[in-house]
Chains A and B, each alone.
Chain A
């Protein structure tokens, strides 16, 4: 089958070529962060840094701006957001999927209509609201406005809907309360869906920029993307230091992706088209 081999070769050739293009910006970021000044400034470009353990640029970036603070802020915001939004979503999805109350279907169809309104349109009012609440320029301002997510509730409700009614009835007849049924039976069954929601939430929380750039103006509450932005505008004009800082900011998400690729990809594939 000579023809098959040629076909195979072309498939791999084009896939590899595309993969290189996709990964190259990451490689360039990390290798740039590890280069010496001479290596970085030479042309034609130096493709491989001479010393892969040259962390000078990282040390200098951390000396110039408190990236450890930014990093911890991002971590705190992401963890709180994932936990809080997770709980609110589980409770809401359960009510919409399992509990009967008047107007349930009507309310839910309204919610789906709200999903098409871009967050950018709500930014002005939300800015005024968080100012009145007195949480502007604090950590909670990055968490509180996002606890209710129609999109995540929609995904989880759909999953809850697939859990057979009979399970609910037998649990209730055995004397389990709604509360117990939700946490002991539904949540464990829905674990794959929940993990997906939490991962998507963690990614968007970690990378959030527009809202953060409006509501945080003091250095000590900056998250990683905002800290990085501030660093490029006011701190260092040295590209190597910026690349070092960028590397630190993308690394947690890259690691998360390497470990949870299947969950993330499945979640996007399932949620994407309906969103």
Chain B
């Protein structure tokens, strides 16, 4: 918008009087009650000691934070969440770059392929997760059957032996990658379609082969989109929760606490243990992590003028 035009718009030829209030009222009421107030309140709550559901508390201080940061379950939740984020996002990105490039070719039956690749985006993790749960079954599951065909396995994906459940996290990582692919492919595909075809024409005229075009043109020009997509996916996967629920009927892994994620921890601490102050402190920690990545996202957007 040019400066001149902006000035004209802000002057406004029509006196709207109190009209904006009417249009904004429903929006603002909802915003204040369910977004602004909770944000302020959760910050305050995280400093209130002995805070109860009724609103009473015993003191003010950093006890919630020291308790949460000293909690073994929380440390485990942070560890699991980071392992999840930093394995699911890179793997999903690499796969999505390949698939998006294949889908960007002139191919037949595009609608069919798109439907197949994008379907997991619209379906509930709880429902499809159940199907995955039986696919991961040690004795009867198709995944161990497939491993058996190649002479590997069987792997005790969902179970625990001797107080150890090393394969549990692979279950949610594999499921997480599958869940993340549709969104990632869509974003990368739209990034690919924004690349000026002129570059490809020029490269072909200069006699570049398709491998060279992919490495020298597609990847560099797609890089901003790849970065952004990764950051957005990281932000959303720090909130991993639904992906854990179907496999152990709501428990966090075969040992009931080995697969705590940060959101799982927040929910348990608040909802089952009624330690609201602790849950508030934990959610502030989650927010701070997300905040760092959001700033990174803004920086990338600005740098590449997205």
Contacts and interface: CB of A to CB of B under 8 A. Distances in A.
Interface of A: 7, 11-12, 14-15, 18-26, 28-29, 32, 41, 43-45, 87-89, 91-92, 94-95, 99-101, 111, 114, 116-118, 120-129, 131, 144-148, 150, 153, 165, 169, 172, 178, 203, 206-207, 209-210, 214, 224-225, 228-229, 232-233, 239, 242-243, 246, 249-250, 253-254, 256-258, 261, 264-265, 268-270, 272-273, 275
27 contacts: A15-B103, A18-B102, A23-B119, A25-B131, A26-B128, A91-B27, A92-B27, A95-B23, A95-B24, A101-B16, A118-B239, A123-B283, A125-B42, A153-B27, A165-B5, A178-B23, A209-B124, A229-B126, A232-B249, A243-B134, A250-B123, A257-B118, A258-B115, A265-B118, A268-B183, A273-B232, A275-B232
B128 A250 contact: yes
Nearest to B108: A12
B239 A120 contact: yes
B127 A249 contact: yes
A183 to B, nearest CB: 12
Interface in B185-209: 186-187, 189-190
A222 B42 CA distance: 28
Interface string B22-41: 01101111110111111101
Contacts of A129: 33-34, 37-38
Q: Is the interface of B mostly helix, strand, loop or mixed?
A: helix
Contacts of B39: 114, 117, 121-122
B246 interface: yes
Contacts of A22: 116-117, 119-120, 178, 181
B221 interface: no
B99 interface: yes
B167 interface: no
B83 interface: no
Most buried by A among B30, B42, B290: B30
B305 interface: no
Contact of A147 (B26, B119, B131): B26
A214 B172 CA distance: 22
A256 B121 CA distance: 12
Given A22-B119, A101-B20, A224-B124, 14 more contacts: A12-B107, A15-B107, A25-B128, A26-B123, A28-B142, A29-B131, A88-B27, A99-B16, A100-B20, A121-B284, A148-B30, A210-B242, A273-B229, A273-B306
A257 B186 CA distance: 14
B113 A32 contact: no
B150 interface: no
A254 B27 CA distance: 31
B57 interface: no
Interface string B211-253: 0000000000000010011001001000101100110011000
Contacts of B290: 116, 118
Given A14-B102, A118-B287, A124-B283, A91 B26 contact: yes
